[in-house]
Amino acid sequence: MAKITVTVNGTSHTSDVEDRTLLVNYLREQLNLTGTHVGCDTSQCGACVVLVDGKSVKSCTMLAARCEGAAITTIEGLSTDGSMHPLQEGFWECHGLQCGFCTPGMIMAATDLLKQNPNPTDEEIRHGLEGNLCRCTGYHNIVRSVQYAAAKMRGEAVSSQNA
């Protein structure tokens, strides 16, 4: 058993966790943050991506105990004051989701991508999201959604039509 203190979506949490507890299970089962999905448990699908100290991480392969002192952001932590984050808005406006299962992981990976590269090309977006699988969309609208958000975050006028 380990005692960890982490900051999740801006709130500090001190918890006892078993040594083998995965970060995804800690978030879902102990903190009730169920937006982070469990897809494959093998780091293949990306449904479980969260930000740990600002970097995208597949939480199904990271032990919660390794996060001692870390700042973690989940999909629930992206919106502010009831307003969607530009990436959440982009996925809505540009139809970047169908079933929605992969969406939280896609958005969290794209958050890290846009932090590193605020003006990515379509190819750079596809490369940045290559560890995230979607079985529904064919990725075209996901790329459009990220372009929409990138433009909005740069302060440009956006439309779902020209993303």
Residue intervals in the chain for CATH 1.10.150.120: 86-153
Residue intervals in the chain for CATH 3.10.20.30: 2-77
CATH number 3.40.50.1820 is the correct assignment for the domain at 86-153: no
Pick from 96, 102, 50: which is nearest to 76 by CA?
A: 50
Give SS3 for 10.
Answer: coil
Residue where the block lists tokens 């379509």: 122
pLDDT tens digits for the chain (163 residues)? 999 999 999 999 999 999 999 999 999 999 999 999 998 878 889 999 999 999 999 999 999 999 999 999 999 999 988 899 999 999 999 999 999 999 999 999 999 999 999 999 999 999 999 999 998 888 999 999 999 999 999 999 887 765 5
Instruction: Give the Cα separation of 85 and 51 in Å (integer).
Output: 15
